Structure formats: structure tokens, C-alpha cells
Amino acid sequence: MVERVGIVGGGIMGLAQAWSAAERGHQVTIFERTRVASGASIRNFGMVWPIGQPEALRDMTLLSRERWLQVAAEAGIWANPYGSLHLAHHADEQAVLQEYLDLQAGSAWGTHLQWLDRETALARYGVINPEGFRGALYSDMEICVNPTSATRRLPIWLQERYDVELKFGQTISEVGSGWLKTAQGEKHDFERIIICSGHDRETLFPGLYAQLPLRACKLQMLRTYPQAAGWQLGAHIASGLTLRHYSSFRVCSSLTDVIERIAAESPELDEFGIHVMASQDDLGRVVLGDSHEYEERIEPFDSQRINELILRELQKIICLPDWRMESQWHGIYTKVPDGGPIVCSPESRVYIATGVGGAGMTLAFGVAETQWRHWSGDGPAVSQR
Ligand SMILES: Cc1cc2nc3c(=O)[nH]c(=O)nc-3n(C[C@H](O)[C@H](O)[C@H](O)COP(=O)(O)OP(=O)(O)OC[C@H]3O[C@@H](n4cnc5c(N)ncnc54)[C@H](O)[C@@H]3O)c2cc1C
């Protein structure tokens, strides 16, 4: 049966839901509060980042990756499948990366991974700071997209390709079973409504959001001017500090040494949740970050000290030809501490898709497709809430 599907939110989560619904022949309308998407989906590194995802989310992650490559080809979105490097500048970081490799050996996941010794990595990737460098874990799974242009191109493509109706510049102020109302008072009826409102937990179903195990997180980011003369980063870059951040590395017992050393040497990095990464967009700009401040610590103001710490740590591990900054900003997402994405239903015919945290670009297409397969009677739901 063809359904009328209403989506609230034109970020990557809403767009992914819209695509999976439209592909099944449903009539889709997207309501987005701002005239062009401006939330977390345009503020990130553009990292499609399977290497950071826990084992429980691997199928969803790889499904999402496949969908990115498909939509990039169909919608004319730039996507660079250049892989990723985790750089080891300390013996304990090397130990974690080698333990991770050993644990994955013989698995399908492990076939995507390779240890690059110091000489090989330095010869291939001019970006690496050689001082103290010991080697790197290369993964061929990661993709880079330009988050701003991709998130703004997708709705236009959905409209052209599937006749998806775009109602941007319209806030949804109320949702009930099978209907929603805009702030202007217009009521629209749908068989299914999917709320993908990002970190906004106050406008729709605030009582339900308050019961979900979600935490808001603010991240500071920087971006360089385009690097000159076609200079290439060559891969997404992650540091030893990053090993503390993604749950994928928690399977390594050697991780404790890294965590304890960094806590003792540089407690300021733990205070602001700093680990450092870099990606490069299609305009040659290098996107750099990031910090993590949660809930009550979130201020509207960006901290110059945090930016300085991020740059201090990046300069220890990479050498860019041009470190001049073109832009600085922050973004906010909501995450489930130690948990995955949530799709729940506050009323019949109404669903909320949330909790992708720092992996929304990586997971959104997988979350949407998994949930739509489930609604079509094929496979498990994203979450059982
Ligand atoms: C700095 C930063 C770096 C990140 N880096 C990465 C990365 O490299 N890789 C990765 O996988 N993930 C990354 N993430 C996470 C990823 O960006 C998010 O998980 C993802 O963008 C969340 O998508 P979303 O659609 O839920 O939220 P959003 O993009 O915030 O979209 C929600 C939309 O809903 C709209 N909205 C809200 N309420 C209403 C309403 N009532 N009516 C109408 N519209 C409404 C908002 O205007 C907004 O446009 C990063 C996040 C940040 C902040």
C-alpha cells in the first residue's frame, strides 16, 4: 500500500528516511524548520567512518556505506573513498592498533585493515609528522563527503528523482497519531510520521525525550583554506587520542595504557573531550577537530583555548602546507552513552529516529534502510524501545 509519509527534519537522518520511503513508492513530504539544513549534518567532518563503529553495528554501518556510494553516484554527490589512517606516535598507541588488528585477523572486517610500518606510511602519506612516528593502521572502508553540499543536494535530488515534497522553512509545532501541524497552523495527515529533529528535544514529545537515555554534546571544529596546488591529505586521519573515543577499540586490553598516559600527561584533553582528526573536502580544505562537552557544560560561546589545544595536538601528528584557518564553528548532537541509534514510537503511526551521536553521517542510511526493511516485514527493527 502506498503511504503518505511525513518527515520532520531535513538533516541526514530525515533525508535517509525520506530516501528509503520514496524508493518503496511512498509519497514523502519533508518539513524542515530552516530554509536550508544548518544542523549537525552540515557541521561535521564528512567522515563515513566504519572503523569507529562497534561490532554490533557493523552490518548497519556497511549497509550505510553502500548506500552512500549509491546515492553519490545517482545524485552527483562528491564522495572520496580514500580510507583512513590511525597514526601511532607512541608505543602504547601502536600496541592498541596491533592488538586491534590481531583481534580482527581472519574476519571479513580484518580484510579491510592493514598495518603500515613507519617507512611505508611516510612514503605514501606526506601529511604524517615523522617526529616520533611509529606506524599506522590503514583501513580501506572510510569515505569522505562534503557534508554541507551533500546535505543540501540530497533534498533537491529526492524531489527531482522521487517527487518528494519539500517544505523547508516550516517548523512542526505539534504531532499526533497520523497528523502534524506547522507553526503557521496548517494541519497535514499522514499514514506514518518520522521525527528526525536532531538535538531538538524540546519542541515535540519533550516528555518522551526526557525519558530516553540521550545526552547532548557540543563539538568545536576548524577548517583551513584550500591547500595549494592540489595537495592531498590522502586519507581521513585519526590520532592516538582518538583510540579513547570510539568504542570499537574498547575490545583492546592495551587501551588502558593509552588512557592512563594521556590522563596523566595532559588532563586538559580529557577535560574538554579532545581527540584529533582531519578530513579533506572536494575544495581542498582540511577539516579539523574536535572537542566534546556534554549537557550542563554546553555554552553558546566557542572557546579559543579548546581550538588551541586541538591545533596543538594536530601539529604533533600531521604537517599541513597551510595551517591558516578559514572557518571555526561548533555543532551539537545527541548520543546514547554506550548505545546505538534509537527508533521509538510515542504514538501510533509516529516514530522518532535519534541517538546516532557522532556517527550520524556513518549510520543514517543504514538506520533508515534497516527500519524500512523491518516495516516491510523483512528483518529486525533498529531498536526495541
Ligand atoms: C562537529 C560534528 C562533527 C561530526 N562528525 C561526524 C562525522 O565525521 N561522521 C559522522 O558519521 N558523524 C559525525 N557527526 C555526527 C553527525 O553529524 C550527526 O549524527 C548527524 O548529522 C545527525 O543528523 P540529524 O539529521 O539527526 O540532525 P541535524 O542535522 O541536526 O538535523 C535535524 C534537523 O531537524 C530540524 N528540526 C528540528 N526540529 C524541527 C521541527 N520541530 N520542525 C522542523 N524541523 C525541525 C532542524 O532544523 C535540523 O535541520 C558529527 C557531528 C558534529 C556536531
What average pLDDT does this structure show over 323-338? 96
- Residue 255's pLDDT band (boundaries 50, 70, 90)? very high
Residue 385 pLDDT more than 60?
no
193: in domain: yes
Which ligand 1 atom minimizes the distance to the CA of 39?
30
For residue 199, the 8-state DSSP code is: T
What value does the mean pLDDT of the chain take? Answer: 97
70: in domain: no
In this structure, the answer to whether residues 135 and 243 fall within a common structural domain is yes
The preferred substitution site among 20, 30, 32, 180 for testing ligand 1, maximizing ligand atoms within 8 Å of CB, is 32
What average pLDDT does this structure show over 217-221? 98
Which ligand 1 atom minimizes the distance to the CA of 9?
34
The letter for the amino acid at 62 is: L
Predicted local confidence at residue 229, as pLDDT: 84
Q: Please state, for a pLDDT cut of 70, what percent of the chain lies above it.
A: 99
Domains identified in the chain, total number: 2
Q: How far is CA 327 from the centre of its chain?
A: 20
SS3 359: helix
| Residue whose C-alpha cell is 590481531 | 102
Q: Is 12 in the pocket of ligand 1 (CB under 6 A)?
A: yes
384: in domain: no
65: in domain: no
Predicted local confidence at residue 383, as pLDDT: 85
Predicted local confidence at residue 338, as pLDDT: 84
In this structure, the answer to whether residues 240 and 315 fall within a common structural domain is yes
**129-183: per-residue pLDDT in tens?**
999 999 999 999 999 999 999 999 999 999 999 999 999 999 999 999 999 999 9
Instruction: Answer whether 10's CB lies under 8 Å from 32's CB.
Output: yes
Distance from the first to the final alpha carbon of the chain? 26
Instruction: Answer whether 245's CB lies under 8 Å from 276's CB.
Output: no
In this structure, the answer to whether residues 223 and 304 fall within a common structural domain is yes
In this structure, the answer to whether residues 243 and 299 fall within a common structural domain is yes
In this structure, the answer to whether residues 287 and 359 fall within a common structural domain is no
Domain hosting 304: range is: 84-140+215-335
Instruction: Answer whether 294's CB lies under 8 Å from 326's CB.
Output: no
Q: Please state, for a pLDDT cut of 90, what percent of the chain lies above it.
A: 97
In this structure, the answer to whether residues 179 and 219 fall within a common structural domain is no
In this structure, the answer to whether residues 222 and 318 fall within a common structural domain is yes
Instruction: Answer whether 180's CB lies under 8 Å from 31's CB.
Output: yes
Centre of ligand 1 to C-alpha 41, Å, is: 4
79: in domain: no
* Cell numbers placing 109: 572486517
**6-16: per-residue pLDDT in tens?**
999 999 999 99
